[in-house]
Chain A
Amino acid sequence: DTAVSQTPKYLVTQMGNDKSIKCEQNLGHDTMYWYKQDSKKFLKIMFSYNNKELIINETVPNRFSPKSPDKAHLNLHINSLELGDSAVYFCASSQVGKNYGYTFGSGTRLTVV
């Protein structure tokens, strides 16, 4: 069983389109994250939800909107896609109080053309 699963794995789309990425974890964790990894492999946190509540909202364009319907799911919707949004987006999860690091999903490679 995949612990943290993301869909789709690859996403190629044109500038100006709107797209969504979905994430689900079956680890029973209460916190989920979105990270962006750019072409230089730098991982940067975007958002974090704890039990469906947004707790981290880094300096990210408001074209990006996360949503967490429940603690096992975290989605990312991106409006009006730009070339600079091309990156790999990773979902991750962890459990507050159990400081054993994050478990990452397999990533979604977004290419905006």
Chain B
Amino acid sequence: QKEVEQNSGPLSVPEGAIASLNCTYSDRGSQSFFWYRQYSGKSPELIMFIYSNGDKEDGRFTAQLNKASQYVSLLIRDSQPSDSATYLCAVGASRMRFGAGTRLTVKP
């Protein structure tokens, strides 16, 4: 079992729609969870972090965490073509483990 699993996609949504990205993790003791965005040929860029169960909102982005289910998600509201990128789920602080990423395409 991989430590951090994501649907590889690609996920395609129309402009203005909600994009939903999902991630599961295997280490039940994990405390820190992150979402990174990576444009093609660029480095990962942190967009959200969450530590507590529930929802955390930042602009058009909402991260959701359910530690009992070992599940993290990212919702992107009012998706824009500029949101087209690979989204990486990451778990842990001192030894951050990444999922393989979900490629999102937002079509105008």
Q: Answer yes or no: are A and B bound together in one complex.
A: yes
User: Is B46 close to A, CB under 8 A?
Assistant: yes
- Those of A51-73 within 8 Å (CB) of chain B: 55-56
A72 to B: closest C-beta gap in Å: 18
Chain B, interface size: which category?
A: 20 to 34
Q: Which residues of A contact B (CB under 8 A)?
A: 31, 33, 40-45, 48, 55-56, 90, 94, 96, 99-107
A107 CA / B97 CA spacing, docked (Å): 18
* B38 cross-chain contacts in A, Cβ below 8 A: 41
B17 to A: closest C-beta gap in Å: 24
Please name the residue on chain B nearest to A4 by beta carbon. B43
Query: Is the pair A45, B95 in contact by a Cβ cutoff of 8 Å?
Result: yes
A94 CA / B49 CA spacing, docked (Å): 14
Q: Which residues of B contact A (CB under 8 A)?
A: 32, 34, 36, 38, 42-46, 49, 51, 86, 88, 90, 93-98, 100-101
A110 CA / B34 CA spacing, docked (Å): 27
Query: Is the pair A106, B42 in contact by a Cβ cutoff of 8 Å?
Result: yes
A105 to B: closest C-beta gap in Å: 6
Query: Is the pair A40, B32 in contact by a Cβ cutoff of 8 Å?
Result: no
The dominant DSSP class at the A interface is: strand
A90 CA / B88 CA spacing, docked (Å): 15
Query: Is the pair B46, A103 in contact by a Cβ cutoff of 8 Å?
Result: yes
Query: Is the pair A90, B44 in contact by a Cβ cutoff of 8 Å?
Result: yes
Query: Is the pair A40, B49 in contact by a Cβ cutoff of 8 Å?
Result: no
* B95 cross-chain contacts in A, Cβ below 8 A: 45, 48, 56
B24 to A: closest C-beta gap in Å: 16
* A102 cross-chain contacts in B, Cβ below 8 A: 46, 96
* B42 cross-chain contacts in A, Cβ below 8 A: 106-107
Query: Is the pair B86, A105 in contact by a Cβ cutoff of 8 Å?
Result: no
A71 CA / B98 CA spacing, docked (Å): 24
A8 CA / B90 CA spacing, docked (Å): 26
B46 to A: closest C-beta gap in Å: 4
A48 CA / B88 CA spacing, docked (Å): 20
